[in-house]
Chain A
Amino acid sequence: MAATSVATRPAGLPLQRIRLDVATILCTLLLATVAFVVLYPIVLLAINSFNVAPFGRAATWGLDNWQTALSQPRIVNALKNTVSLAVVRQAIAVVVGIGIAWVLARTNVPGRGWLEMCFWFALLLPVLPILLGWIILLDGHHGLLVTAVRQVFPGFGFDIFSWWGIIAAHLMINLIPLKVFLLTPAFRNMDSSLEEASRASGASTLRTVVRIVIPLMAPTILFVTLLGLIRSMQSFEIELILGGAAKIDVYSTLIYRQVLQSPPQYGTATALSMVVLVGLIPFILLQQHLVARRNFTTVSGKYTNRLYDLGPLKWPTFALIAGLLVFIIVVPVILMILGTFMKVFGVFDLPTGIWTLNNWQRVLADPKLTRGLLNTLTIAGGSMIFSITLFTIIAYVSVRTRYVGRRILDFITWIPSTVPGIVTSLGLLWLFIGTPFFRPLYGTTWVLIIALGFAGLTLGVQLIKASMMQLGAELEEASWASGAGRIYTLRRVVLPLIAPTMAVVALQNFGAAASAVSLVALLGSSNNKPLSLMQLEYMDTGSFEPATVLGVIIFMLTVSAAILARLVSMRWGLGRFDRSR
């Protein structure tokens, strides 16, 4: 069955001869711009990793940073932990994510639209307050949940400060929501006739999923898995808090600690980052190779989107996913909101009572709140529009043209995700200050929009690309045959078909930009300070509870964007044909 669906790769759509030169020039300009913005900071960082002078002093060249980086006694253990943690949590998350995405996109499980939205919301939750909330519940020493379970099962020994605690925290806080978030739109774009043909040939549901659905979804699954693995190399917040006490180092915490030192050791941090970059290149090339060999078209002129009837399993399936969401979104949101009303977060024994409205009153009375809100909307909204436009163009060039540099363009889009943001932010500062083209923009909101827009390059481009690969060429050919031009066809045929994916990418960028801190602090000015920096200022001054209030406000802002994105994608995309939702 699978062999009939997974055929040889079709050639890219031919560009019209007259437009070829113009198109090539435009594509080359695009390639050059993207390459410059992505590679310039990294090349500068790489060069400066050989500068052994203290930060800010005249350069002295040497290999000390590399020696320090590579001779770290904990590096081997950190690498082992990084790989083992990444492989285990990705394996669990991919399997669970595929299962849930398939159920939400391909079956008639009740309330699937809302269930999917809840996974979106979970992804937008701020990590630190949620993690501290989980610690209140799952600390092996005094966690509320652990203590309660121990009263029933005295031998219960789970502690969030452990290897499995890190896995569980990652799965709940970001991995499962992210997988569902990224995979569901792709699953939704699958032609149901393929599954129906499989079942008509006698294949079971499981066999259909394994032999038809998963191979057809391979580019997206492969991309999501690879991205997950790459992100595992960068993730440090959870590991730093949970792994520190348990003495579990990972590679990213080694890098983070170099930057955190006083004075910051950017050279050593860059050297460590370069090792990751070089180590990940073969995986990126392998992914490109695997994707290039096959055809993954699932949306053709005969596209149908009939849902699989789960029958009596409908409600149990709903209960299973809803139960998981209780842990992923309901409990964390309750903890986070309760935290904003606590006098001292995490302290449940105060003679004067533990609840207060002061935190909300203090934040709502802050004269900087309105300005911060407007700045957040401008930066996050601008970054979203910029990124979705740029990413769609890059994905289109990579998938739908024969431009000679398209593989290089695609490869470059992977690079930003291989170097930790904490390291690249300094490189971006050099980019915007050191180049005549960008320098006039320095200090303006434009810089933040561009920098934050590019921050989501890998995820955005690869996700839209995977979605475009699902579209059959005949859809565009039919449009051209009717006299429509390339731009008109893109706008009226291609974009509506990939709208759900674009909505996901837009939302992801909006959320990331709204909560970005270090890049905004480094590139922004006092005129464009968003809520995320106000939150940091509250934290700095020991006002954790009001900071959590701002976290909730940012969360609500992003949730509003999520609902909007959902409505737009449903109205504009294939969702409008799905009347059963």
Chain B
Amino acid sequence: MPRPRYARLLPIALLVTLLAACSAPSGAPGSAGLAASPSQSQDPQARWDQTLAAAKQEGRVVVVTHTDLWYQKEVEAFQAKYPEIQVEQVAMRPSEFTPKVVTEQQNGIYGYDAWISPTSNMVETVAPAGGFENLTPYLILPEVTEGKNYRGGKLLWGTTDPYVLLYQGNVTGNVIVNRDLLPASDFNSFDQLVDPRFKGRIVIRTPNAPQGSALTMTGIVHNKGADFIQKLMVDQQPVFVDNARLLTQDLINGKYAIAMGADTETLDACIREGGCKQVEQVNGYKYLLAYGAGVLKNPPHPNAAAVFVNWFMSKEGQQTFVQTNGDTSRPPHDTAHSIRVDVEPHPDAVADATMPDYAHLEQYSLQGTEFGGPEIRAVLDMYKKVEAGGS
């Protein structure tokens, strides 16, 4: 019987698919040794020269980042500075990268060098699972190791042990109010959130993970105690909504009067276009959201990892960060600021007061650090109780 033409094409299609699929897996466990450890040499310049030479020898660095566009620009700037070190960027959400990297490490796979991102998952899950290298030996350049270069006068760590070094703390804490429904004369302070008049008029993004609403509540816990959020979540009978976008649309359309955990990107876009005049931000108790850098356990390219982290934490790296953050985001650019004293923040960050007072961090709930753990736990546990129907 004659063979149909498409039957002959099938093996070709299969072959094409197979060839296209044959991209090699990235990374394999390799040597974890730095070319120059502090015990071998005390001269930072000599150590740096040795490390840089070894990094060029390694020829590659695998950097894990969050998905924001500025990370890509940051990596490109490093690539331009060190063309001999090929950078592979793995852009993933921390919540997705965390189970992946922990499972890989438990099975002896060490494919990544450095990780820069918001630090909640780093601090809560990966560091306790032994997923990071002690960062101290990797920090070589004096401009990176000297505390005087940082606001607050010292290096700021997210963990008790030196695993995750912070490069930014972003301060915020607000609820959004629909003024058509609730004029400023009726509501203008966080303390009024538990006023019985507003019972049933508050919408909260489900606080089951460290995102907008749960983090906002850590600021409240820090200043007013856990009883306040119990009253808010139980007595005030708020509506819990999982989708931030939907919650924001409901607020704009007047379905709810007060929203906690709204999608600020949507609101900013609406305001930029001259709309959403009826919504207003009411600032309240602040929390600090940390962003940091770390070197993952047994990096396959330890010297290249060291070069990357030193460059990233240097004045040049942080200036690039502030610049690319501002360039790639839509206004207001209030997250474009750095912990380094020699890096000027974007004017929006100054205007919106999103840069913390690093000398007096005790006034904030420090989220994304080990020290803010009890407060976010209190919020998440309280929601679990509410969800279970108890108080």
A23–B275 Cα distance when bound, in Å, is 70
Residue pair B67, A344 in contact (C-beta under 8 Å): no
Are A433 and B14 CB-contacts (below 8 A) given A74-B388, A263-B124, A444-B25?
Answer: no
List A residues 327-384 near B (Cβ within 8 Å). Answer: 343-347, 349-352, 374, 378, 381-382
CB distance from A430 to the nearest CB of B (A): 7
Q: Is the CB of B106 closer than 8 A to any CB of chain A?
A: yes
* CB of A88 closer than 8 Å to a CB of B: no
- Residues of B within 8 Å of A474, CB to CB, are none
- Determine the interface band of chain B, counting residues with CB < 8 A from chain A: 35 or more
Most buried by B among A381, A440, A542: A542
**Complexed CA–CA distance, A123 and B103 (Å):** 35
Instruction: Indicate if the CB atoms of A433 and B253 lie closer than 8 Å.
Output: no
Measured in the bound complex, the distance between the Cα atoms of B241 and A343 in whole Å is 24
What residues of B have a CB within 8 angstroms of the CB of A244 in the complex? 206, 240-243
Q: Does A426 contact B (CB under 8 A)?
A: yes
Is A107 positioned at the interface, with any CB of B under 8 Å from its CB? no
The complex places the Cα of A349 from the Cα of B96 at a distance, in Å, of: 37
Contact of A429 among B18, B68, B92, B100 (CB under 8 A): B100
Residues of chain B in range 56-77 having any CB-CB distance to chain A below 8 Å = 66-69
Residue among B93, B254, B274 making CB contact with A350, cutoff 8 Å: B274
Q: How far is the CA of A378 from the CA of B17 in the complex (A)?
A: 6
Taking a contact as CB atoms closer than 8 A, the residue among A343, A426, A492, A540 that contacts B269 in the complex is A343
Question: Distance (Å) between the CB of A321 and the closest chain B CB?
Answer: 31
Contact assessment for A245 and B266 in the assembled complex, using a CB-CB cutoff below 8 Å? no
Closest to B205 in A: A244
Q: Which residues of A contact B359 (CB under 8 A)?
A: none
Binary flags per residue of B3-38, CB closer than 8 Å to A gives 1, else 0: 010110000011001101111111100000000000
Q: A132-B245, A444-B22, A527-B23 are in contact. Are A262 and B120 (CB under 8 A)?
A: yes
Q: Provide the A130-145 mask, 1 if CB < 8 A to any CB of B, else 0.
A: 0010010001011000
Interface centre among B21, B100, B239 (most CB of A within 10 A): B21
- Specify the chain A residue showing the minimal Cβ separation from B211: A262
A260 in contact with B209 given A344-B275, A445-B20 (CB within 8 Å): yes
CB neighbours (8 Å) of A433 from chain B are: 103-104, 107, 109
User: Which listed residue, A74, A441, A443, A518, touches B389 by the CB 8 Å rule?
Assistant: A74
On whether the beta carbons of A542 and B264 are closer than 8 Å, the reply is yes
Chief secondary structure at chain A's binding surface: helix
How far in angstroms is the closest Cβ of chain B from A250? 13
In the bound complex, what is the Cα–Cα distance between A74 and B91 (angstroms)?
37
Instruction: Please tell me if B273 contacts chain A, counting CB pairs below 8 Å.
Output: yes
Chain A, Cβ-Cβ closest to B28:
A443
A475 → chain B, closest Cβ, in Å?
15
Q: Is B96 touching A522 in the complex (CB atoms < 8 A)?
A: yes
What's the minimum C-beta distance from A380 to chain B, rounded to whole angstroms?
Answer: 10
Q: Which residues of B contact A117 (CB under 8 A)?
A: none
Interface string of A423-449 (1 = CB under 8 A from B): 000100110011000001111111001
A205 touches B (CB below 8 Å): no
Contacts of B263 in A (CB 8 A): 542
Measured CA separation A540–B92 after assembly (Å):
10
B384 → A minimal CB distance (Å) = 8
B307 contacts A by Cβ under 8 Å? no
User: A526 contacts which chain B residues (CB < 8 A)?
Assistant: 26, 88-91
Q: Name the residue of chain B whose CB is nearest to the CB of A445.
A: B21
> For the complex, what is the distance from the CA of A522 to the CA of B98, rounded to whole Å?
10
A543 to B69, alpha carbons, bound, how many Å?
Answer: 11
Interface hits, A457-502 → B, CB 8 Å: 484, 488, 491-492
Using a Cβ–Cβ cut-off of 8 Å, how many residues does chain A contribute to the interface with B? 69
Kindly report which residue of chain B lies nearest to residue A544, judged by CB atoms.
Answer: B245
Query: Of A141, A344, A525, which contacts B90 at CB under 8 A?
Result: A525
A384 to chain B, nearest CB (A): 9
Q: How far is the CA of A518 from the CA of B96 in the complex (A)?
A: 8
CB-CB contacts below 8 Å: B249-300 with A:
249-250, 252-255, 263-266, 269-270, 273-276
Stretch at the interface among A54-62, A166-174, A186-194: A54-62
Judge whether A537 is part of the interface by a CB distance below 8 angstroms.
yes
Whether A568 and B242, one on each chain, are in contact in the complex, defined by CB atoms closer than 8 angstroms, is: no
Contact across chains for B241 and A245 when beta carbons are under 8 A apart: yes
A276 within 8 A of B: no
Does residue B125 face the partner (Cβ distance < 8 Å to A)?
yes
In angstroms, Cα B26 to Cα A211, docked, is 59
CA distance A264 to B120 in the complex (A): 13
- Is there an interface contact between B21 and A378, defined as CB atoms closer than 8 Å? yes
Known: A56-B125, A381-B17, A382-B17. A264 touches B246 (CB 8 A): no
The 8 Å CB contact of A346, one of B17, B95, B102, B249, is: B249
- Least Cβ distance of A568 to chain B in Å? 7
B116 at the interface (CB under 8 A from A): no
A442 touching B25 in the complex, CB below 8 Å, given contacts A73-B388, A260-B209, A526-B89: yes
CB neighbours of A208 from chain B (8 A): none
Could you tell me if B246 and A351 are in contact, using CB atoms closer than 8 angstroms?
Answer: no
List A contacts of B270 (CB < 8 A).
344, 347, 350
Chain A residue contacts of B254, Cβ below 8 A:
141-142
A201 interfacial by beta-carbon distance below 8 Å: no
Please tell me which one of the listed residues A262, A443, A518, A527 contacts residue B209 in the complex, with CB atoms under 8 A apart.
Answer: A262
B156 contacts partner chain A, Cβ-Cβ < 8 Å: no
Contacts of B107 in A (CB 8 A): 433-434
- In the bound assembly, the distance between CA atoms of A257 and B240 in angstroms comes to 13
Asked if A351 and B265 make an inter-chain contact with CB atoms under 8 angstroms apart, the answer reads no
- A343-B269, A350-B270, A526-B91 are contacts. A245–B239 as well, Cβ < 8 Å? yes
Q: A429 and B23: CB pair below 8 A?
A: no
For B13, list chain A residues within 8 Å (CB).
Answer: 381, 385
Query: Which chain A residue shows the least CB distance to B389?
Result: A73
Stretch at the interface among B46-54, B126-134, B146-154, B218-226: B126-134
Once the chains are docked, how many angstroms separate the CA of A433 from the CA of B106? 10
Q: How far is the CA of A449 from the CA of B253 in the complex (A)?
A: 43
The smallest beta-carbon distance between B131 and chain A, in angstroms, is 7
A248, CB-defined interface residue at 8 Å: no
Complexed CA–CA distance, A426 and B102 (Å): 11
Selected from B69, B208, B242, the residue in CB contact (under 8 A) with A241 is B242
Given A257-B208, A262-B380, A378-B21: A139 and B274 within 8 A (CB)? no
User: Chain A nearest CB: distance from B89 CB in Å?
Assistant: 6
Known contacts: A56-B125, A350-B274. The answer to whether A541 contacts B69 by CB under 8 A is yes
Tell whether A521 pairs with B275 under 8 Å between CB atoms, given A73-B389, A526-B91. Answer: no
Q: List residues of A whose CB falls within 8 A of some B CB.
A: 54-57, 72-74, 132, 135, 139, 141-142, 240-241, 244-245, 257, 260-264, 343-347, 349-352, 374, 378, 381-382, 385, 426, 429-430, 433-434, 440-446, 449, 484, 488, 491-492, 518, 521-522, 525-528, 536-537, 540-544, 568, 572
Please give me the 6 A-B residue pairs with the lowest Cβ-Cβ distance, nearest first.
A542-B265, A443-B25, A56-B129, A445-B21, A351-B274, A537-B67
Query: Can you list 18 A-B pairs, Cβ within 8 angstroms, ordered by A?
Result: A54-B125, A73-B389, A139-B250, A139-B253, A262-B376, A345-B245, A350-B274, A378-B20, A378-B21, A381-B17, A385-B17, A434-B107, A445-B22, A492-B1, A541-B69, A542-B265, A544-B245, A568-B6
10 additional contacts (CB under 8 A) given A382-B18, A429-B99, A522-B100: A56-B125, A73-B389, A74-B387, A139-B250, A385-B14, A521-B93, A521-B96, A525-B25, A525-B90, A536-B93
